[in-house]
Chain A
Amino acid sequence: MLISIKRIFHSGWQIFSRDKEVSLATVFILFLAIFLVSSLFLFTDLTKLIITSTQEKIDISVYFKEEADEDDILGIGKEISKFSEVKAVEYVSPEQALVEFIERHEKDPLLIEAVEEVGRNPFLASLTVKAWDPSKYGVVSSFLQTADFQDLIEKIDYFERKSVIEKISSLSSSATKIGVLLSVVLIIIAVLVVFNTIRLSIYNSSEEIKIQRLVGASNLSIRGPFLVQGMISGLIATFTCFLLFALLSWSLNSSTESFFYGFSLFNMFVSNFWVLLFLQLITGISLGTLSSSIAIKRYLET
């Protein structure tokens, strides 16, 4: 049994190493498929990050009347934070609001002058409410409008931002769905291309397979080396792709950080190191061996 396995591996390596052009083509196609799958995996992560970053910028502000007591406002904040839909509630005092305004508009002295002209702090105390899901802001807003403390509320700015919030929420959901659909379609295409490439390379060996059958070789001893060849191609494609990913993520890191809200491609690569390696190995080896297995089947049945 051991001798048979050894011979199968030896034969598989022979097929791979002696037909260099076909082997190179197979490795290249597998490399492309693995690269695509890995890119989609990382792209999904990046998409989630962008969507999350965008969603985090969404919030609603509840402005309280001037006469509202700070302790009451803080108590209301605690009430609101008990909601399962609410992620965080932040209290912004009138003084803090003024400071933030001045910081935001420090390059616009006219605006600051206008505020000074008022003679007093025009800003109201507020609670900034962030929800886990942008689509839940409506629920939070409805609660605020019907709550006991609604008399203390001057304004809820949800209604001004409602259309923007809804649009962002809808876009995020669509982007996720499109991303998944695109991934599935591209993966199917990649699998089909790999399968057909390997099928063609085995077609190249169809005469040899026929001879092997005629001289009494068993199906296992014929099939085995081709599976090994597929596995070797998959392994080489995997390691090449993995090295390329490491290199690309490192070299493009600074570009991605500046372009994508501080997103570090290299950090993402490192944090997903084992998952990515495992994913690539599974993709490479399974694509290589499965395609070989299916492609050779018809030559063993005739």
Chain B
Amino acid sequence: MIKFENISKIYPACLPGSKPTIALADVSFEIKPKDFVSIVGKSGAGKTTLLKLLLAEEKPTRGRVFFKDQDVHRIESEDLPYLRRKIGAVFQDYKLLPSKTTYENVAYIMEVIGASDKEIAKTVPIILEIVGLKDRANNFPPQLSGGERQRAAIARALIHRPEVILADEPTGNLDPYHTLDIIELLLKINRIGTTVILSTHDKEVINKLGKRVITLEDGKILRDEKRGRFIL
């Protein structure tokens, strides 16, 4: 379903005399439908870059990324939205729309995919309740805590039941109770048939999941284990 083929991402040097930054170096792996894959590594290992490449938010320096046999970086600009609607992304920095309330942020995705007002009115409250933000529906992102924003981002990624969930540190700001809830939710969605790619530092989560783990270090794959553990 998803294939990274000899991917390298090098950021050019910003200042004279400085070296270019190698975020990813010749990374190749494949993810099948319904897989639950965790990507672990230290900060700067290249986890977020991998997810950005899949979303075509960044272009690779070398190599190709395929989504359902389609090279994502060869997709025309006007067709990219259709790819992105198939992917529910939880960004590390949340990327909530600051001018919209929590409810509107979550509903926005439903509007993007063309859902009716009735469907939106029915579905959004349910997902907000699931992530524990029912009482914060009318607040704007700046009025939410880090954890609340994270949960709002998760709700937005899940609501339209995409084919793939990309979760970049989705539990980074959450307390243990909410962390457990979110991981359970991701597992549940995965059981229904959604492919999940989770990037995390959380050792407990990884070890508890017992799912495939790809370990990155300095932009390279260190390990790719079917039932992996958090080892750095």
Residues of chain A at the chain B interface (Cβ within 8 Å): 3-4, 7, 14-15, 18-19, 205, 207-208, 211-219, 221, 301
Contact = CB atoms under 8 A, between A and B. Distances in A.
Contacts of B34: none
B95 A214 contact: yes
A216 B85 contact: yes
Interface of B: 55, 57, 77-78, 80-85, 87, 89, 91, 95-100, 108-109, 111-114, 116-117, 156
30 contacts: A3-B116, A3-B117, A4-B114, A7-B111, A14-B100, A15-B99, A207-B98, A208-B98, A208-B99, A211-B95, A211-B96, A211-B97, A213-B80, A213-B84, A214-B57, A214-B84, A214-B89, A215-B84, A215-B85, A215-B95, A215-B112, A215-B156, A216-B83, A216-B84, A216-B113, A217-B81, A218-B78, A218-B81, A219-B81, A301-B77
A15 B99 CA distance: 7
Interface centre among B80, B85, B112 (most CB of A within 10 A): B112
Determine chain A's interface SS by DSSP, over half rule: helix
A203 to B, nearest CB: 14
B92 to A, nearest CB: 13
B210 to A, nearest CB: 31
A229 to B, nearest CB: 11
Contacts of A7: 111
A19 B98 CA distance: 11
Contacts of B117: 3
Nearest to B57: A214
B99 A215 contact: no
Q: List 6 tightest A-B contacts by C-beta distance, closest first.
A: A216-B85, A216-B84, A211-B95, A216-B81, A218-B81, A217-B112
Contacts of A208: 97-99
Contacts of A215: 84-85, 89, 95, 108-109, 112, 156
A19 B99 contact: yes
A211 B100 CA distance: 12
A4 B116 CA distance: 10
Contacts of B97: 208, 211-212
Nearest to B55: A214
A217 B113 CA distance: 8
A216 B109 contact: yes
A215 B96 CA distance: 10
A3 B117 CA distance: 9
B195 to A, nearest CB: 17
Given A19-B99, A213-B81, 5 more contacts: A3-B117, A4-B114, A14-B100, A216-B85, A217-B108
Contacts of A301: 77
A104 B171 CA distance: 98
Nearest to B77: A301
A221 B82 CA distance: 13
B99 A18 contact: yes
Contacts of B99: 14-15, 18-19, 205, 208
A211 B77 CA distance: 15
A217 B98 CA distance: 16
Contacts of B80: 213
